[in-house]
Amino acid sequence: MNKFKEWMDTWLLQLNVKKCKTVSFCRRTDILSEYTVSGKAVEKVDKIKDLGVTFGSRLKFDEHIDIKINKAYQMLGITRRNFIYLTAYSFVILYKALVRSQLEHAVSVWSPHHKLLIEKYKKGPQN
């Protein structure tokens, strides 16, 4: 972090430490590491959202899958409430644009490969 601070000073850049967060990706939960920049501690979190994907400290995507499933069902409900008289073709277009796009966002990162996650994905929204 000291090298990073030196680089920032060289290029006259400032970093808002209040917006920075740190997360450790590991199996152990008892890691005690604290990072500081300019004497200010960087907040440590258990999960972080990056490019729309929620990463947990153990690299499990349970929470992300729950969020995506709920969002897809929200979009399906909006479609059913607001578009009452739809042809099958119109419904397929809306479904692909609004619902399926939610489920497929960054799927290569969090692809459900465990049986439990696949069942959760198939079952529906979690409350």
What distance, in Å, lies between the first and last C-alpha atoms of the chain? 40
Number of C-beta neighbours around residue 13 at 10 A:
8
Helices (H), the chain: 2-10, 62-82, 88-94, 101-104, 107-110, 115-123
pLDDT tens digits for 63-99? Answer: 888 888 889 889 999 988 998 888 989 989 998 999 8
pLDDT at 114: 66
- Six-digit token string for 77: 């409900």
Q: How confident is the model at residue 45 (pLDDT cuts 50, 70, 90)?
A: confident
pLDDT at 125: 61
Displacement of CA 40 from its chain's centroid (Å) = 27
CB 48 within 8 A of CB 21: yes
Displacement of CA 12 from its chain's centroid (Å) = 32
Give CA separation, 108 vs 66, 82, 127, in Å: 17, 31, 25
pLDDT at 36: 83
pLDDT above 70 as % of the chain: 85
Residue type, 113: H
pLDDT at 113: 66
- Six-digit token string for 87: 């042809």
Q: What is the DSSP letter of 26?
A: S
Per-residue pLDDT averaged across 99-125, rounded?
A: 73
- The pTM (predicted TM-score) of the whole model is 0.67
